[in-house]
Amino acid sequence: MSLLFVAYDNVTFLDVAGPMQVFQAANVLRRKSGKSAPYVIKLVSDGNGRITSDVGVALETQSWQELSTGNRSMVFVPGGPGVWDTQTQASVTAYLRSQPDEVEIASICIGAFLLGHAGLLSGRQAVTHWKYCKRLQSDFPESQVRADSIFIRDGRIWTSAGVTAGIDLALAIVERDFGHSLAADVARGLVVFLKRTGGQSQYSKVLEVQAGIPDGRLSDLHAWITDNMHKSLSVEMLAERLGMSTRSFARFYVEATGTTPRKAIENLRVDTAQRMLLDYPQLSIKRIAEKCGFKDEERMRRTFVRHFGATPSEFRENFSSIQKN
């Protein structure tokens, strides 16, 4: 199977290299087991020659116009600052539209915008880097953007979230093509998770709140919350620490962060619990629930299911299984 990675000036280097490495690792493992290498990996562009990635590394490509059309293939569209270039949009869009209906097409990160320009997201679910999900939905309103997904397959179209999510997508393709065992071996070799529990939100919500705060008072407050996670942490308690009325504090917090104090505290509790589940395997889930301020183990379980679609036990097993191997 030919895997055709579309390159253009200012493509994100990791968007290209990450998924490529997954498929090459699958090739190596198949050869070691006495089987043929399944993937032929090619870097293609609009014309032969060298393109320059976003980190300044030159990439040698072959012309997509010169490729034979007889072999089964899948096209990958990495993201990168070059996505916004109108010439790149025109050339890549034309190439994507020329693909037969049976060819699968996958985007990595903001490469989804090039799929959108080609009309490939119309009526489909899609995802991109969390910073650009709103823009993707605005630019292509006929699509259904799911901001909390790591990757999505909708028919022959695959889209993935920010940068390293392309690795998740590639592992899913290996698993689809050759089964769980090979995909798990590839993931272990690359020291990555075969399957992440939950969506992007589990990694970004707390950082997203912190990044949007220009006011030092809230940074100090969040540090205090982290040190006192085991307490009830009512909105009244937080307001008192900042010398504000409860109503004024709640309004101030929403304006500064875009979320409510209660929701932010829940996210902080969940974020801390995730780390403890993996970093302290000797601690029981009940003890972690206490340390993170959940009133009991059942409340922590319900919160994890709501956030990730998985219980704390499932989360710990999913993430620690690869670390143990």
Q: Is there a single domain that holds both residue 111 and residue 185? A: yes
Average pLDDT of span 41-54: 91
**DSSP result, 120-165:** TTTTSEE---GGGHHHHHHH-TTSEE-TT-SEEEETTEEEE-STTH
Per-residue confidence (pLDDT) for residue 187, from 0 to 100: 83
State the virtual CA torsion across 267, 271, 272, 278 in degrees, nearest 10.
150
More confident residue, 325 or 68: 68
CB neighbours of residue 84 within 10 Å:
11
Q: How confident is the model at residue 323 (pLDDT cuts 50, 70, 90)?
A: very low
CATH no. for residue 20? Answer: 3.40.50.880
The pLDDT of residue 218: 78
17, part of any domain: yes
Across 34-47, average pLDDT: 94
Q: Using pLDDT thresholds of 50, 70 and 90, give the confidence band for residue 114.
A: very high
In tens, the pLDDT along 161-217 reads 987 889 989 999 998 999 888 888 888 788 765 555 444 443 444 445 554 555 567
In a domain, 275, yes or no: yes
User: Which structure tokens are listed for 62?
Assistant: 């072959």
Picking from 135, 167, 190, the residue at the C-terminal end of a domain is 190
For residue 271, the Cα-to-chain-centroid distance in whole angstroms is 17
| Residue found under tokens 């490469």 | 111
Query: HSE-up of 200 (CA within 13 Å, CB side)?
Result: 26
At 71, is the pLDDT very low, low, confident or very high (cuts 50, 70, 90)? low
Please check whether residues 222 and 186 belong to one and the same domain. no
Residue 194 contacts by C-beta under 8 Å, 6 or more apart in sequence? 171, 175, 180, 183, 184, 187, 322
Is there a domain that residue 196 lies in?
A: no
Q: What percent of the chain has pLDDT over 70?
A: 89
Per-residue confidence band for 317, with pLDDT thresholds at 50, 70 and 90: confident
Q: Among all chains, which residue has been given the structure tokens 């997509």?
A: 64
Tens digit of each residue's pLDDT (9 = 90 or more) over 235-251: 999 999 999 999 999 99
pLDDT top residue among 281 and 324: 281
Q: Are residues 92 and 181 in the same domain?
A: yes
For residues 71 and 178, state if they share a domain.
yes
Q: What is the domain extent for residue 298? A: 201-324
| Whether residues 22 and 94 fall in one domain | yes
Nearest 5°: the CA angle 66, 67, 71 is 160
pLDDT at 43 over 90: yes
pTM given for the model: 0.66
* pLDDT score, position 303: 93
1 pLDDT higher than 70:
yes
pLDDT, mean over the chain: 87
User: Is residue 25 assigned to a domain?
Assistant: yes
Helices (H), the chain: 13-32, 86-97, 112-117, 133-139, 165-178, 180-190, 201-211, 216-227, 235-241, 246-257, 261-279, 285-291, 297-308, 312-324
> pLDDT value at position 214?
53
CATH number at residue 316: 1.10.10.60
Residue 321 has a pLDDT of 46
How many structural domains is the chain composed of? 2
Q: In angstroms, rounded to a whole number, what is the distance separating the alpha carbons of residues 109 and 81?
A: 11
- Which residues have a Cβ under 8 Å from the Cβ of 291 and sit 6 or more positions away? 229, 230, 272, 276, 283
Which of these three, 169, 190, 211, is where a domain ends? 190
pLDDT at 276: 86
Write the CB contacts of 77 (distance below 8 Å, at least 6 apart in sequence).
Answer: 6, 92, 96, 105, 106, 107, 108, 111, 112, 114, 115
208 in the same domain as 186: no
Look at residues 162, 190, 218 and tell me which one is the last residue of a structural domain: 190
**261-315 pLDDT per residue, tens:** 999 899 889 888 987 887 788 899 999 999 999 989 999 999 999 888 889 998 8
Mean pLDDT for the stretch of residues 315-325: 58
Residue 47 lies in a domain: yes
